[in-house]
Amino acid sequence: MTKLWGGRFQKETDRLVEDFHSSISFDRRLYKYDILGSIAHARMLGRAGIIEPEQAGEIVRGLEEVLDDIEAGRVEFSVGAEDIHMNIEQLLTAKIGEAGKKLHTARSRNDQVALDIRMYMKAELDEIGGMLRDLQSTLLDLAERHIDTFMPGYTHLQRAQPVTLAHHLLAYYQMFRRDEERLADCRRRTDVMPLGSGALAGTTFPLDREYVARQLDFAAITENSLDGVSDRDFAVEFTAAASLIMVHLSRFCEEIILWASAEFAFVEMDDAYSTGSSMMPQKKNPDVAELIRGKAGRVFGDLLALLTTLKGLPLAYNKDLQEDKEALFDAVDTVKKCLLVFKPMLETMRFKEDRMAAAARGGFTNATDLADYLVRRGMPFREAHEVVGKIVYYCLEKNITLEELDLARYKQFSSLVDEDVYEAIGIGRCVEARRVPGGPAPEAVREAIRKARQRLGAPRG
């Protein structure tokens, strides 16, 4: 196969090398962006009089046909043509002849590939952003139903203070909201059009870069040609944001896995989202949640691969940059797959409200409230902490809860305790009293949901 760059060469590329450096097996996924970018470039060349306007028209029509051919499955890409850019150029020239050879005027594959990835990333950022928004609204719907579902809040995985399931779910809402913001922020820096950077030093032709940017719906053009072809920061930023999405999904999955165990028994996974064991007939495993937790590692790996690829590169383009794509694509695919399956898994889970409330009632989760009760009656907090510690110890010995301790005994620990202590340490009261903004009280949670809905309804920006 004759190479598009074959003029300077006397020998054929070794077959091993041809296979080694070809990227068509993975960069074929950029075909649409490559063609749309080329169409904009050709139109601009025609308008600026750099090529004949009629030829520009032929190129545009030819490229549209190539696009149809690819989408109809009529195209076999060739490894010999190396990558998606040269494959498409060859297909075009095969179709329209001479004019096709003019498409690459004032352009390099270096700025072309930079353009393609940015276009691809923008589309994926929008899609993943949408998925995150869907997940946020699922969380808000669920939270709305569980404003009064008590559960223990934990520190060190030890029961700490009572909260509600709504409050717990809203913590994840916050994480996914930040994730969405991070993607939007990354999108701003991705939304910059690099075509015109040429191989590295721009071009001698009078390109209208702004026109190309407008055609392709970019907000701005890159401001330095060397940077334009070698910048992959946006890919790193995306993969970092994707890693955080995976961290959040993975933490949530870890909790779901715990909650689904007989020890917690806070949730029952839907049959459609769990799997059995090939040996143990009784088993119902939370494999989906485990797999999401497991896949987090892949995405972190993608991030590290990108960073490592970039760290030693002199300006401007180096072939190492071809390695950006597989890491990026893998991060995109993994995050999307995980978000896609996580949402229905969550929606179909059955929360065992009784179990959660019983757990919230046990474990002395109201001990702080008892201390706060004493503080309200004039005892310094440090002292109250000590007294309640002793009371808890006593109850543990007797195997009773704080609610079960009789008043006479309470008075022995502190004369400040009165009959109203029982109301003050009742679980409903403990939660309800935490009305501080950002707290678990139904009132505060309702406000948090209202704010969140307003934000979700508002246009992105």
Question: Which residues of the chain form contacts with ligand ARG (CB under 6 A)?
Answer: 23, 27, 83, 109-110, 113, 317, 319, 321-322
CA-based nearest residue to 115, from 216, 29, 263, 224: 216
CA-based nearest residue to 183, from 140, 117, 127: 127
Name the active-site residue from 156, 168, 243, 278: 156
Q: Whose Cβ is closer to ligand ARG: residue 169's or residue 316's?
A: 316
Q: Whose Cβ is closer to ligand ARG: residue 28's or residue 178's?
A: 28
User: Is the separation of the CB atoms in 430 and 369 below 8 Å?
Assistant: yes
Q: Cβ 208 to ligand ARG, closest distance in Å?
A: 23
| 14 backbone φψ class: left, alpha, beta (φ>0; ψ -120 to 50) | beta
Q: Cβ 238 to ligand ARG, closest distance in Å?
A: 17
User: Is the separation of the CB atoms in 309 and 320 below 8 Å?
Assistant: yes
Q: At residue 227, what are phi and psi to the nearest 5 degrees?
A: -70, -35
CA-based nearest residue to 326, from 33, 6, 83, 141: 83
Q: Cβ 90 to ligand ARG, closest distance in Å?
A: 14
Six-digit token pair at 406? 């009789």
- Is 277 catalytic? The answer is yes
Q: Cβ 28 to ligand ARG, closest distance in Å?
A: 11
CA-based nearest residue to 303, from 341, 339, 332: 332
Six-digit token pair at 257? 């896995």
Instruction: Indicate the helix (H) or strand (E) that contains 235.
Output: helix 233-259
Kind of pairing between the strands at 220-221 and 192-193? parallel
CB burial readout 36-57, b (16+ within 10 A) else e: bbbbbbbbbbbebebbeeebbe
Q: Cβ 207 to ligand ARG, closest distance in Å?
A: 19
Q: Whose Cβ is closer to ligand ARG: residue 18's or residue 432's?
A: 18
Q: Whose Cβ is closer to ligand ARG: residue 23's or residue 138's?
A: 23
Q: Whose Cβ is closer to ligand ARG: residue 252's or residue 329's?
A: 329
Name the active-site residue from 25, 137, 277, 385: 277
Q: Whose Cβ is closer to ligand ARG: residue 311's or residue 319's?
A: 319
Instruction: Please name the residues in contact with 196: beta carbons below 8 A apart, sequence gap of 6 or more.
Output: 106, 111, 202, 203, 207, 209, 212, 221, 222, 225, 228
Q: Whose Cβ is closer to ligand ARG: residue 70's or residue 151's?
A: 70
Q: Cβ 113 to ligand ARG, closest distance in Å?
A: 4
Q: Whose Cβ is closer to ligand ARG: residue 27's or residue 231's?
A: 27
Q: Cβ 5 to ligand ARG, closest distance in Å?
A: 9
3-state secondary structure 343-405: HHHHHHCEECHHHHHHHHHCCCCCHHHHHHHHHHCCCCHHHHHHHHHHHHHHHHHHCCCHHHC
3-state secondary structure 132-196: HHHHHHHHHHHHHHCCCCEEEEEECCEEEEEEEHHHHHHHHHHHHHHHHHHHHHHHHHHCEECCC
- Is 156 catalytic? The answer is yes
Q: Cβ 27 to ligand ARG, closest distance in Å?
A: 6
Catalytic residue annotation: 156, 277
